[in-house]
Structure 1
Amino acid sequence: MSLISKTPDSLMLGIAERVKMRRLEKGWTQNMLATKSGVSLASYRRFESLGEISLRSLVMLAFALDMTDEFETLFSSKTYQSIDDILKTGQVKQRKRGNRNG
């Protein structure tokens, strides 16, 4: 999927599809994963079909599927495109807060 065609909905559906694939690799039914994770079956079914789920429920699914490492790297560090980007980062003072107007 190209960066241009990514939308929040397509990203959520992609995550749901990968969770479904992991579930099927383990030979689990939707009900089995819902039970193991503590997520209601209705919530899990909605997730597989629409990609919608609370963050807490998504983390619970990750624990049940032994996929928590992926959360450790989410938003962890910036990737650089060039050495110039790295050098510029060292020159810019790191803000502790965001802008008030934006």
Structure 2
Amino acid sequence: MSKYSATKTPTVVMDELVQKVQQLRKKNGVSQLELSKRSGVSFGSIKRFETTGQISLESLLKLAYFFNRLEDFTSVFQIDTNLETVAKLFSNKTR
């Protein structure tokens, strides 16, 4: 995928998540160590996440909960309830 593509790559989304978490942490005046203690996510996981973007889903959700942003995840993989869209999935024309 080209870096000029309109569609974001997983790496781009991951980098954006890292930046957002860092911004939230700094805006709230919380160190990595304090975030670890208060969120229940290990210091190593937080440090690794902010350095490489790697983190478990459970730890990411704990960070979202700490920052009162857990609701942001409710739209991830949201099922489209528009029946026309669902019908197109089973149409012979798309196969």
TM tier, smaller: 0.7 to 0.9
Aligned equivalents of 1:2, 1:22: Cα separation in 2: 28
Higher fraction of helix: 2
Could you say which residue in structure 2 is the equivalent of 1:21? 23
Separation (CA, whole Å) in 2 of partners of 1:32 and 1:2:
38
Deviation at 1:2, TM superposition (A): 5.9
Matched with 2:11 is: 9
Displacement of 1:88:
3.9
2:51, 2:10 → 1: CA distance?
15
Q: 2:77 aligns with which of 50, 58, 75?
A: 75
What is the deviation of 1:47?
0.3
Pairwise CA RMSD: 2.6
For each residue in 1:32-91, what CA deviation from the matched residue of structure 2 results, as whole angstroms up to 9, or x when unmatched? Answer: 11111111101100101111100000001111111111011112244xxxxxxx68426x
| 1:19-58 aligned within 5 A | 19-58=21-60
Aligned partner letter, 1:41: F
- Can you list the C-alpha shifts for 1:2-56, whole angstroms capped at 9, x where unaligned? 6447322221111011011011111100111111111110110010111110000
Runs of 4 or more above 3 Å deviation? 1-5
Separation in structure 2 between the aligned mates of residue 18 and residue 9 of structure 1, nearest angstrom: 14
Separation in 1 of the partners of 2:20 and 2:4?
17
Alpha-carbon distance between aligned partners in 2 of 1:59 and 1:10, rounded to the nearest angstrom: 19
Number of residue equivalences: 87
| Structure 2 unpaired stretches of 5+ | 91-95
Cα distance, 1:2–1:58 mapped onto 2, change above 3 Å: farther
RCO higher in structure (CA 8 A, sep ≥6): 1
TM-score, normalization: structure 2?
Answer: 0.76
